[in-house]
Structure 1
Amino acid sequence: MPGKPVAGHTIAWVVGMFVPFFNFSQLYIDVTARSTGSTDPLTGRFVDGFGFRFIDLYKNPLVGGTSYGNLVLAPNTHLMFLILDMLFWSVLAWYLDNIVPNSYGYRRPLLFFLDSGYWGNRPSCRRALQKMAFAVSGRVPASRDDSDVIQERERALNLTKPTALRITNLTKRYTNGMVKQTSKLAVDNLCLASGKGQLVALLGQNGAGKTTTMSMLYGALQPTSGDAFIYGYSVHEDMDEIRHRMGVCPQHDILFDDLTASEHIRLYAGLKGVPLDAVDWLVRERLRDVRLTPAANTCTGAYSGGMKRRLSMIIATIGEPKIIIMDEPTTGMDPVNRRYVWSFIEKFKQGRVILLSTHLMEEAECLGDTVAVMSKGKLVAIGPSIRLKNKFGAGYRVSVACDEKPESSTHLREIVPRIVPAAKLHDETSNTLVYHVPSLTNLTNLIRYFEDNPHGLVHSWGITQTTLEEVFLHLVARSQRHKQT
């Protein structure tokens, strides 16, 4: 029947176009059929094959000694199909890699290749910011937001003042389940801006959204909504450009146990394009700055946790990045080496933006030009540490150790409020009273009473300003109360 050859020919072409294994195996069969010798059944002698010549690429092979014309494709056709397969599957892999969602990285729109920005024609930063500002212009700040947080949001959305880091309503929501979906809001409309030479210290409990925020900035996670601009480049559209200007010290060290510290630095210097004549200087200087020189030629598999953190921080600074993200960089360090690292960070931030998360209040207070406190994914307070202490702190912390007599603490609890009516008892432990005094009013009278000790009730006393840790605990507790109500 005339229809069967046509159908068979069509099927052969379709299979050949999209199944590279078929083409490869058919090529192998065609070549070996002509090249491989055989044994003569009559004489038992081995007879050499005809060999496969270049012209044989264009001849239809014989099947069982018979030529089937166009039903059996010539070897050159299979070779052409292999080349087309390579191009087709490579393009498909590139396309799916860009659009299929996964746990890490960014997913582009289905028609991303039609966007001129993908091919290098970037829209101006101002146009991108105006588009974002228009999208969020109708959002009214929550009535419970702190005034500094509202002011920071307005600063982040103010297009007239250029900033090196601009985060605009960045949001990340995780969803679980296929039919009945449940969601968790990890980062809730975060707005923040920072200029060159500034270090922003992020404080928050575990799960507050610090690492999630940083992961969205360096491209490990895709925001649910909102955007962030780093030197004018959007994390949605220009992540490749951002990564050229960024250094990252992740929360967990990513090191090769079989390489030394020097080899790590040389490896990443090569990846970042550091000139070869500057690599030796870079190795010496960076290792000296964080006091790793004695262990320069030791494999990192033998390093302690603090040593690995110092090496990870060095790697983040290679290539003169314009912005550095440090996720708890001093975890596991002893106080001595931590001080060296602080000095290095303070020196390195000149002309750059550093976003640093930490659980150490002293670190945030020492390094942070701006301290941002997050709770349950929201920014609850922001500003210099001295402003946060003045605004949210209780003023001064007065601790007094009573005499060993049982009635001494009872008498002091009656006397202190008479001298300083605004004093509030915060804690009482083993004959030690701790008061919060909001201002200096009458505080000198209380100090005079402690010094004179007319009733013999005071064993020792001390006074300090409210610490950043107390401010942090107060802000977290306040945020949790707001969530419950």
Structure 2
Amino acid sequence: MLRKLLLIFPHYCLGRGLVDLALSQAVTDVYARFGEENSPNPFQWDLAGKKLVAMAAEGVLYFLLTLLIQHHFFLTRWIAEPTKEPVVDEDDDVAEERQRIVSGGNKADILSLNELTKVYSGTSSPAVDRLCMGVRPGECFGLLGVNGAGKTTTFKMLTGDTTVTSGNATVAGKSILTNISEVHQSMGYCPQFDAIDELLTGREHLYLYARLRGVPAEEMERVASGSIQSLGLSLYADRLAGTYSGGNKRKLSTAIALIGCPPLVLLDEPTTGMDPQSRRMLWNTIVSIIREGRAVVLTSHSMEECEALCTRLAIMARGTFQCLGTIQHLKYKFGDGYIVTMKIKSPQDDLLPDLNPVEQFFQGNFPGSVQRERHRNMLQFQVPASSLARIFRLLISHRDSLLIEEYSVTQTTLDQVFVNFAKQHTETHDLPLHPRAAGASRQAKV
């Protein structure tokens, strides 16, 4: 009975069939020693025939079952869509972008996300929570966020690597839910972790993906050589990818994503491990993509990179967009004023300058200002949002009396804006520490 039940497993059918054939051959050999003929048909029903028929039927059945699962036949019928609570306390710019997407104002966007949501099984809070955004042709959209904010999960949903819980996204007008094969044809993807074959050379990788992209055979040499040259892989193109450094592997992954000139390119931290020169070469490549009218979505932890490339960006936390807009707009809206850096000269060469008058001056004229740095003859203050003209007027008028040798006034950096959102994220997720753990607050015993 158990043998009949186990026939539903193909690997059991294969193993059991081989064992039965071996036993049948052993019996035939024993009869042959006594001079008797006993050679049963190996394909008879009770020997291997039953197993072969079972494997043939199971091959067709399991293939059809795989297709049904891949197209979410069972999921759409049996898994209820999670209830959507109204969005509250959303930033004005994020709400405006959501309204633009929902109202259908995204017809010209290469990439459009409409209420895109992902909830992993076993968790109650979504990893990605109703994202709405559109990326236009010729735009580089930056996606920033702390680790675990939902950036890579968003990319995985766009590429079909993970299922979408609710919502939808379109790439060049094709839905990722119903036309994922056509979406793949319009998309290039550089994953966070290099997906390369260590036994192939860099050039062989590019030939392979160029053939998969449908690049004509006569054009493959030119396409591969152009990618190798633009990303600085000329010295390593004919070496095995397993011998590459981390930076060169990132170059190769990026080159693979750019094969075939897809309208949309997704780059998940592409410059990790790259030296400054290689990073600049990649930046130039991304700029050329944007000038061609294609779109790039970039995730990075380098604020310098985002400022150099991104036309717009969004900061993610807890699976949602906390802010969205141009870099200058975000600095102005969420920045903490200005950074004033001064170098104080000493009245005598052998004495240190007295910095106390400068500190008193800032405390009196700029209430709420914070001293960020204090060195031998250098001071740096963070001044709350104030009139830039007033800051310069006061510094110029008191320059001689305060012995200010030189000074600079800069706007709040993108790093500071990002850190402010990151602090809000970590503060809301603080976990209670064990009383004996380092940093845990101890209550006095009465």
If the length of structure 1 is used for normalisation, what is the TM-score? 0.74
1:260 to 189, 196, 201: 201
1:270, distance to aligned residue in structure 2 (A): 2.0
Which residue type is aligned with residue 391 of structure 1?
A: K
Cα-to-partner distance string for 1:97-137 (whole Å, 9 max, x where unaligned): 3566xxxxx67132889xxxxxxxxxxxxxxxxxx9xx99x
Which residue type is aligned with residue 338 of structure 2?
A: Y
Residue 224 of structure 2 corresponds to which residue in structure 1? 283
Cα-to-partner distance string for 1:234-290 (whole Å, 9 max, x where unaligned): 222322221222211111112222222111111222222221111110121111101
1:183–1:429 CA distance, 2 compared to 1 (3 A): farther
Residue 320 of structure 2 corresponds to which residue in structure 1? 378
Which residue type is aligned with residue 383 of structure 1?
A: G
1:93, distance to aligned residue in structure 2 (A): 1.9
Residue 410 of structure 1 corresponds to which residue in structure 2? 356
Q: How does 1:113-192 map to 2 (within 5 A)?
A: 140-142=86-88, 144-162=89-107, 163-176=109-122, 182-192=123-133
For structure 2, the 5+ residue unaligned runs are 431-446
Cα distance in 1, alignment partners of residues 174 and 370 from structure 2: 51
Asked if structure 2 preserves the Cα contact closer than 8 Å seen for 1:16 and 1:23, the reply is no
Cα distance in 2, alignment partners of residues 199 and 480 from structure 1: 28
Asked if structure 2 preserves the Cα contact closer than 8 Å seen for 1:400 and 1:459, the reply is yes
Cα distance in 2, alignment partners of residues 32 and 208 from structure 1: 62
Residue 85 of structure 1 corresponds to which residue in structure 2? 54
Cα-to-partner distance string for 1:371-390 (whole Å, 9 max, x where unaligned): 11111221001111111112
Residue 442 of structure 2 corresponds to which residue in structure 1? none
Cα distance in 2, alignment partners of residues 472 and 366 from structure 1: 16
Asked if structure 1 preserves the Cα contact closer than 8 Å seen for 2:140 and 2:310, the reply is yes
Which residue type is aligned with residue 388 of structure 2?
A: L
Which residue type is aligned with residue 341 of structure 2?
A: S
Cα distance in 1, alignment partners of residues 76 and 98 from structure 2: 30
For structure 1, the 5+ residue unaligned runs are 1-7, 58-73, 101-105, 114-131, 177-181
Confirm whether residue 109 of structure 1 aligns to residue 73 of structure 2. yes
1:27–1:477 CA distance, 2 compared to 1 (3 A): closer
RMSD: 3.7
Confirm whether residue 397 of structure 1 aligns to residue 339 of structure 2. yes
Cα distance in 2, alignment partners of residues 295 and 174 from structure 1: 40
Cα-to-partner distance string for 1:416-438 (whole Å, 9 max, x where unaligned): 3555x477225243352313253
Residue 421 of structure 2 corresponds to which residue in structure 1? 475
1:376–1:426 CA distance, 2 compared to 1 (3 A): farther
Cα distance in 2, alignment partners of residues 37 and 411 from structure 1: 109
Asked if structure 2 preserves the Cα contact closer than 8 Å seen for 1:171 and 1:223, the reply is yes
Residue 441 of structure 2 corresponds to which residue in structure 1? none
1:38–1:252 CA distance, 2 compared to 1 (3 A): same
Q: How does 1:414-425 map to 2 (within 5 A)?
A: 414-416=360-362, 418=364, 421=366, 424-425=369-370
Residue 66 of structure 2 corresponds to which residue in structure 1? 97
1:82, distance to aligned residue in structure 2 (A): 6.1
Asked if structure 1 preserves the Cα contact closer than 8 Å seen for 2:317 and 2:422, the reply is yes
Cα distance in 2, alignment partners of residues 472 and 109 from structure 1: 41
1:464 to 406, 410, 418: 410
Residue 215 of structure 2 corresponds to which residue in structure 1? 274
Q: Percent identity?
A: 30
The alignment partner of 1:314 has SS state of: helix
Which residue type is aligned with residue 321 of structure 1?
A: P
Cα distance in 2, alignment partners of residues 221 and 23 from structure 1: 36
1:360, distance to aligned residue in structure 2 (A): 0.5
1:216, distance to aligned residue in structure 2 (A): 1.3
Mark the structure with the bigger radius of gyration.
Answer: 1
Residue 225 of structure 1 corresponds to which residue in structure 2? 166
Asked if structure 2 preserves the Cα contact closer than 8 Å seen for 1:173 and 1:186, the reply is yes
1:202, distance to aligned residue in structure 2 (A): 0.5
Moved more, 465-474 or 88-97: 88-97
Cα distance in 1, alignment partners of residues 341 and 5 from structure 2: 86
Cα distance in 2, alignment partners of residues 298 and 371 from structure 1: 37
Q: How does 1:25-64 map to 2 (within 5 A)?
A: 39=32, 41=34
Aligned length: 416
Which residue type is aligned with residue 312 of structure 2?
A: T
